[in-house]
Structure 1
Amino acid sequence: MFLLLLLAGLLLQGDAQDQASLWRGNDRSGRCVYSFTVPSPVEASCPQPAAPEVEALKVRLGVLEMLVSQLSERSLLQGEKERLKREMKALQLRMEEMRRETERLRKRPCPQTPAAPPSHPQRDRAPTRPLEDSAWQYGSPAFQELKAEVTEVPVPDSKQNQTGCGDLLSVGEPVSHRRADNIAGKYGVWMQDPEPVSPYGPNMVWRIDTVGTEVRQLFGYEDLEQLSKGFPSKVLLLLDPLESTGATLYRGSLYYQRRLSRTLIRYELAAEHVAARRELPHAGFHGQFPYSWGGYTDIDLAVDEKGLWAVYSTSKAQGAIVISLLDPLSLEVRRSWETNIRKSSVANSFIICGKMYTVASYSAPDSTINYVYDTETSQGKAVSIPFKNKYRYNSMIDYSLAQRKLFAWDNFHLVSYDIRMSHSPAT
């Protein structure tokens, strides 16, 4: 081998004496080795094949990211365009109705008010102005305004009656706030925190689309108006995937069930990390004890005036609804109640003032709230309160303590319901 290297060196000595070199030395193991090098007569440096490929991949990846961003923006803009078209048509119809009403009023003759007799104007004042309140017939205008202010102050019982604890008396018509953009929003959950934690304010609204096997995105909106426009101000990526539509918000944390498990998770929004996780003892999951509409709704979390709740069932309860009051920090069960109504026989449930209410159907347009269980008395009873499923596929119904309304997700639509409560009993 050495002779061959010498021979090659001698052959090249004439033409490349200044370029070729022979090196003799020990390698890392101490073995003597000979190295013969000849510089390239053409290339100044050897090309690096990997660098262009990496750069090309980076360029292609950048182009793909740009295209995805453009498609996403285009989808949002298209949705906003369609919404604005619908609003414009509605305004045009309303303007046309107002124009017709104006024309009708113009053509309608004005009623003639009979002239007052010349004598005794004060005594005959009431007959000439039949719509005037008799209490305001006499006295100076200043006194009337002052008296009006005094009589208007002490009336607010009706509002307290609607929002205080007591029994649910009625549920209003559904009001639509937004329609989901794609199939991922056929069903989901939307909510507000009744006790928000900085940096998020009391008007913040949160939404999760729950169609899919890896549900991780939590969208935040500054208020209901931004939700209706579809412009989130915050998007959080959950570390653990979420199961179904049973999530809720409370004191700055998102509470939800981890996919394919009975594990409950408390995720702090401000810190963006999991603060607690705990199994709900013996709870069914992933289709063992769902609501009648399905959707793996085995564990339904709720918040009301009394705290954080879980609605679920167990094998021991044989499918009957179990209600548990949870510790909001540790997720430990503080106390549980077992009802005598089967979970799969109702479409959904919600809790107000420690009372659980169930909805009979998720698809019937004119359904009812058919059962109530009071955790204070440990007693349940049948009720019949009208409830409307406007879009005929209601997959989530929760009481919003922040709004004192019902929030629901009905076949791509985020809707709310006003409620009316009875007087709370004296304590």
Structure 2
Amino acid sequence: MWFRVSLLSLSCLAVISQSQAQDQASLRRSNDPTGRCQYTFSVASPEESSCPGSGAKPEIDGVLSRVTLLEALVSRMIAGEDGGIGSGVGDKGQEGLQEAYSQVTGEKNQLQQDKERLNKQVQDLQRRLEELSQEAESLRQQPCQQTHTSGGAQHGNRPANDPGYDFGNGAYQEMKAEVTEVPASHLLPVRNHNFTGCGELLSVADPVMHRKADGITGKYGVWLQDPEPQGPEYTNKTVMRIDAVGKDVRQLFVYEDMDQFAKGFPMKVLVLPEPVESTGATLYQGSFYYQLRRSRTLIRYDLASESVASRIDLPNAGFHGQHPYSWGGYTDIDLAVDEQGLWAIYSTTKAKGAIVISQLDLKSLEVRKSWETNIRKNTVANAFMLCGRLYTVASYTAPNTTINYVFDTATGVGQAVSVPFKNKYRYNSMVDYNHGQRKLYAWDNYHMVTYDVRLGRASS
């Protein structure tokens, strides 16, 4: 608009400035390209027949047309006539927002479905866990089923990754405990349950745990106290222990008392001159008695001098897996002590695997007298001597088993009994009687435990 006004003013000025040179002026009125009425003054030049550069008129007309169009557009915008353009942009924006909203909503719905599916899986797993827990508890409460076999020793398999496994000998045995039926009638009669002298075994209390071994070498071993110590360095409070897992077992750990033993603080470690075989060692009157590895040789190690005092081969005794207990472990020769002295529990080829009991000389280890029983050694889990009687344990894994057989060396008669016995940790590899403490000492799956026992008078 202002451009046209300016143009009109210029035209008027031109007319006024040249009015004297003109004979005549004309006014022209016509519509512009937009349809608006436009007035144009024309004055002829008295001197020039034609205007120089008149070729620029079309360009000027084009510029004027574009300026006019722009003015019209600005006018519509000012008047609010651009609603269509704005609405077009708004529609596109709304379409984009709607599409994004739809996508987010879909993802939300998918996540909700995933959450519901995962919650269902968690509920299924929790229900399955409860079922497994109930099944495990039910199995714990059921004693292991025992079967009866006939014939010789049975050979089991031991995991190859157990350090106690001898890779050079495939005869290593670890078998389930089984009991050969023996004609038996009743429990031994008891006259006085408060009897405190030497007598028949009436009951065994629940195990009391004193220490748990730290590493795999402590899965099974021997731990004991001397029932008749010779002092002064070693007393009836001194505890000794050997971890029996390994191929070269020589370390004898010595503890001042039970408290230091429980804490794991030995006062010394004795290195035996020759390696120990399995868990059949024992301690009596200042000497440590054990079987030499891979042999039927028995050794008496004097604790005071820390040297071998005597050694001897146990005649015809099976060794290194020929006649072990049912749990295996090369437990062919089991040494034991009680009120009557030192004993060897083993078997021979002549006895065909049945348990043989020999009483040994404390100094020379020579056999004084032997008894052959009618119970096979590989069908019981362990055995111990008490008041001149052999007692056998039925199972080394069943949590609730029994002491199932007794053989009296005074009468030469054996019979079945049923004294409850607990393997709390389900792998009992050593059971020995200590008549000084009147307790059974046992090594049950890394755990070193004791059992109080109750005795009664022998039957007449």
The TM-score normalised by the length of structure 2 is 0.57
Matched, 1:324 2:320: no
> Deviation string for 1:336-373 (max 9, x for gaps)?
00000000000000110000000000000000000000
Which residue in 1 is equivalent to 2:380?
346
Which residue in 1 is equivalent to 2:241?
207
Superposition pairs of residues 175-254 of structure 1, within 5 angstroms? 175-198=208-231, 199-254=233-288
Residue number among 190, 195, 200 corresponding to 1:167 in the alignment: 200
Superposition pairs of residues 82-97 of structure 1, within 5 angstroms? none
Structure 2 stretches lacking a partner, 5+ long: 1-190
Greater CA radius of gyration, 1 or 2?
Answer: 2
Which residue in 2 is equivalent to 1:308?
342
CA distance in 1, matches of 2:285, 2:194: 24
Q: Which amino acid aligns with 2:272?
A: L
> Per the alignment, in what secondary structure is the counterpart of residue 448 of structure 2?
strand
Which residue in 2 is equivalent to 1:288?
322
Q: Which amino acid aligns with 2:420?
A: P
> Per the alignment, in what secondary structure is the counterpart of residue 380 of structure 1?
strand
| Contact 1:197 1:270 (C-alpha < 8 Å) held by counterparts | no
Percentage of pairs with the same residue: 68
Structure 1 stretches lacking a partner, 5+ long: 1-156
For the aligned residue pairs, the C-alpha RMSD in angstroms reads: 1.4
The offset of 1:288, in angstroms, is 0.2
Matched, 1:390 2:429: no
CA distance in 1, matches of 2:240, 2:434: 12
| Contact 2:193 2:455 (C-alpha < 8 Å) held by counterparts | no
The offset of 1:424, in angstroms, is 4.4
Residue-pair matches, total: 269
> Deviation string for 1:6-58 (max 9, x for gaps)?
xxxxxxxxxxxxxxxxxxxxxxxxxxxxxxxxxxxxxxxxxxxxxxxxxxxxx
Change (3 A) 1:248 1:160: farther
Change (3 A) 1:181 1:158: farther
> Per the alignment, in what secondary structure is the counterpart of residue 203 of structure 1?
coil
Superposition pairs of residues 40-119 of structure 1, within 5 angstroms? none
Which residue in 2 is equivalent to 1:375?
409
> Per the alignment, in what secondary structure is the counterpart of residue 276 of structure 1?
strand
CA distance in 2, matches of 1:278, 1:183: 32
CA distance in 2, matches of 1:160, 1:256: 35
The offset of 1:425, in angstroms, is 6.0
CA distance in 1, matches of 2:238, 2:407: 31
Q: Which amino acid aligns with 1:180?
A: A
CA distance in 1, matches of 2:192, 2:451: 18
The offset of 1:402, in angstroms, is 2.3
Change (3 A) 1:205 1:354: same
Indicate the structure whose relative CO is greater, using CA pairs within 8 Å and at least 6 residues apart.
Answer: 2
| Contact 2:442 2:450 (C-alpha < 8 Å) held by counterparts | yes
> Deviation string for 1:204-244 (max 9, x for gaps)?
01000000000000001111111111000111000010000
| Contact 1:370 1:382 (C-alpha < 8 Å) held by counterparts | yes
Q: Which amino acid aligns with 1:386?
A: P
Change (3 A) 1:158 1:338: closer
Residue number among 408, 411, 414 corresponding to 2:442 in the alignment: 408
The offset of 1:160, in angstroms, is 6.0
